[in-house]
Amino acid sequence: MSWTAINKTARNLLAALLLALCLAGPAQALGPFSHFTLAQDLWSHLGPVLSPSPAERERLFQVFLAGSIALDTGYYPGAEVNLASSVHLIKPWQVCRALLALAATPAERAFALGWLSHALLDRRGHQELVNPLAGGAFSQQGYAHKQAEWGLDCWLLARPQGDWLWRARPDYGPGLGLWARALAQVYGARVPRTLLVQAMEAELKEVRRLPYVFWLSGRLQRPGGWAGNALGWLLGRTARPAYVAWLQWRGRDLDARAVLTARWPRPEDAAKLAQVLRQARQDTLALLTLPPSAWPSGNLDADPACQDLACPDARAAAAWLKSLPPAP
């Protein structure tokens, strides 16, 4: 085989590898690794309250992680997008309160607290960091919004202290019943458990894949991962830009393009993320002591255009909820 043929074959193999890796579809909220990072920070405060047993706390932490990303399940391929849009844009704080009120076991309480931490990080993170970086809320600047959020997640994954994020394995099973009951109470609709399972499995599949998509497409370098870093460097300068250009030419696959063009944060952006995470921790702990009248209001996207069902995503979610069977 000639050198030209070998070179062409290598390029084709690299392109095929990148294509296989980059089919993940991102969320429309802060990424899962931002929420996991907040969850880890909160757990030293919340875990001992839920259980005195270290072994039990370890199990509950996996449920807490699941709650911290459950709001975004519908945003991933193979899931119902309106499931996520509804809890972000329609009565999001009522859902948080219902989860906390209906939680009947330590595991359900862990799931509810994880959910609350997600809502508070979305609210503050969008207001103070992501929307300013993107030049607007998601309904106006969807692509830039996704690029900014995935860039922040890349930064968290690349830190030595973020190594555990690559191995996180949330356990959503103990929260399923609570999740369904809370949606029924707030929306008066019966969301099938099978739909919740399908959506959660779709999200977890991508959560397991996304760190490697970022790594092997050259969006981040992993400490000590010299072989993957080298492959990512090569793909990031060959197959990745070619594939992004092809996606752009097609005018489709906004999600895959955003993953592959994640915007690496500037030092001041990373510092702001660290500040937002600290403030979200304080928000979560403080809110648990406040009456409902003192809770936040508005949607989790911090998007005035989506208030009162004013944007297409909110209207579609409302229509979907109306189409479901009524709650018993």
Q: What angle do CA 294, 279, 130 make, to 5 degrees?
A: 100
How many other C-beta atoms are found inside a 10 Å radius of the C-beta of residue 135?
11
Domain boundaries, the chain: 13-323
> pLDDT digit string (tens) for 128-151?
999 999 999 988 898 999 999 999
For 225-242, what is the mean pLDDT? 91
**Ramachandran class of 290: left when φ > 0, alpha when ψ lies in -120 to 50, beta otherwise:** beta
Provide the mean pLDDT of the chain.
91
262, exposed or middle or buried, with CB in 10 Å at 0-12, 13-18, 19+?
Answer: buried
Q: Is there a contact between 170 and 66 (Cβ–Cβ < 8 Å)?
A: yes
| Pair of tokens at residue 61 | 């932490």
pTM score over 0.85? yes
Cα 140 versus chain centre, distance: 19
> pLDDT digit string (tens) for 211-220?
999 999 999 9
